[in-house]
Structure 1
Amino acid sequence: MTAPDHRRITDLGTLKAISHPLRMRLYRALFVARTATASQLADQVDEAVSLVSYHLRKLADHGLIEEAETQSADGRERWWQPSSYGFSIRDEDVRGTPELVAASDALGRAINDQRTTLLERFLDERLTWSAEWRSASVSAEWLPRLTAPELAALGEELQAVLTKYDQKARAAEAAGDTEGRENVAVHLHGFPYRS
């Protein structure tokens, strides 16, 4: 990963590229793995290596992933990594352009579908996890009455807390502290609604 910050997506081509459901799954799998080959990712998403290679090249064409240092003696293997620490799409970058709004909405729905699938899988497999993991898992909902600036500030604070824990975990893992570590999904949604 060459850049520690989020990549801010503002163009239609990149939005369309990442909105593809398989590309989003590949991006998520690569983000979790940190580095991987097409064949490793193909095993994870249960798709042909040639198809996965094609979609990885499309993600790379839009700067979402990049080649990584080879992690094995086989020089024929192409290793990939995310090019940034995630990405973001902001309303102010898409509003006023119907094509960008539609692509942003499609991406939001694709991401939500994959998040829902992850949560449903955990619920289905819940009893296969240890009591410690079941107790540590979090499911909560808050319904505060906030202003738009308060919601924005809340989002920034929550992102800072999650970034702190993720960076701490990545540093520990890089130092060899892998005992008891599992991939953890934390999904936050904060949006206005009318009852």
Structure 2
Amino acid sequence: MADEEQLRRLDSGALKALAHPLRVRIFDLLSAHGPQTASSLASMLGETSGSTSYHLRTLSAHDLIHEVEGRGTARERWWELPQGRIDIPGPSQSMSPANRAAAQIVSSEFFRLRHETLMSYVNRPDIEVPEGWKDAGLIATTLLEMTPSQMEDLKDELMAVIDSAVARYRGQTGPDVRRVSMRTELFDLPSTGPVLSDATDSNEEES
């Protein structure tokens, strides 16, 4: 698929450039809210526009973001993320110590922001939920017994669903369109003893 062809694996230079909490936050805001200026990002972050401009230039130097063509002025530039997916490697023993430290900073900050966003959604008062969106979301946890190959198959099925949604909805505009975060989590739990055949627990919550 087109998006699979656009998958970019970050090299050590780009990974180190991203390895700053404020840059991760800027990257996340551009992903969540679309194109922004240094001033608009400064307002969201409680920083100065000089600070956000510096970090935007650093991200741009490693092609992590780029300037929006035909928008803005020489004094007020707009920035956005490139199309496609970015593979951000987690810390690995095969990395150099510097790259491993950078990967740890980036992954830790991304997951912190991810949890923060999820909890904001969970705790949002009903009065702040737009009309028609109250029961549109889903938070589900299901525990299963699987083999590694079965989990690989399920992962492929979930990615196919994601790819299909991206192909249908990416770039959609309209009066009822809002930015939506679609999350998929699938991982094995630490072993605490033998798995019992009746140990499956399923809990699903709609919010």
Shorter-chain TM-score category?
0.7 to 0.9
Match in the other structure for 1:136:
136
8 Å CA contact 2:7–2:86 kept in 1: the answer is yes
The structure where strand makes up a greater share of residues is 2
TM-score of the aligned structures, taking structure 2 as reference length: 0.76
Match in the other structure for 1:191:
187
Match in the other structure for 1:148:
148
Whole-angstrom distance in 1 between the partners of 2:161 and 2:125: 26
Q: 2:99 aligned with 1:96, yes or no? A: no
Match in the other structure for 2:166:
166
Q: Deviation digits for residues 89-131 of structure 1, max 9, x if unmatched? A: 346x944225234432332221111011111111221412147
TM-score of the aligned structures, taking structure 1 as reference length: 0.80
Match in the other structure for 1:122:
121
8 Å CA contact 2:15–2:103 kept in 1: the answer is yes
8 Å CA contact 1:70–1:79 kept in 2: the answer is no
In the TM superposition, residue 30 of structure 1 has moved relative to its aligned partner by: 1.5
Secondary structure (helix, strand or coil) at the match of 1:180 reads coil
Quick check: 125-134 or 55-64, which moved more? Answer: 125-134
Match in the other structure for 1:106:
105
Return closer, same or farther for 1:153/1:14 CA change in 2, 3 Å cut-off: farther
Q: Deviation digits for residues 141-165 of structure 1, max 9, x if unmatched? A: 1222333343334334323322332
Match in the other structure for 1:47:
47
Q: Deviation digits for residues 13-50 of structure 1, max 9, x if unmatched? A: 32232232211121122123432221122222232111
Structure 1 vs Structure 2: percent identity of aligned residues?
Answer: 28
Return closer, same or farther for 1:164/1:32 CA change in 2, 3 Å cut-off: farther
Whole-angstrom distance in 2 between the partners of 1:190 and 1:113: 18
Match in the other structure for 1:19:
19
- Could you list the structure 1 runs, at least 4 aligned residues long, displaced by more than 4 angstroms after superposition: none
In the TM superposition, residue 187 of structure 1 has moved relative to its aligned partner by: 2.6
Whole-angstrom distance in 2 between the partners of 1:43 and 1:167: 33
The structure where helix makes up a greater share of residues is 1
Larger CA Rg, structure 1 vs 2? 2
Structure 1: unaligned runs, 5 residues or longer? none
Structure 2: unaligned runs, 5 residues or longer? 193-207
8 Å CA contact 2:21–2:105 kept in 1: the answer is no
Whole-angstrom distance in 2 between the partners of 1:115 and 1:185: 10
Q: Deviation digits for residues 65-92 of structure 1, max 9, x if unmatched? A: 12221324x343222221342311346x
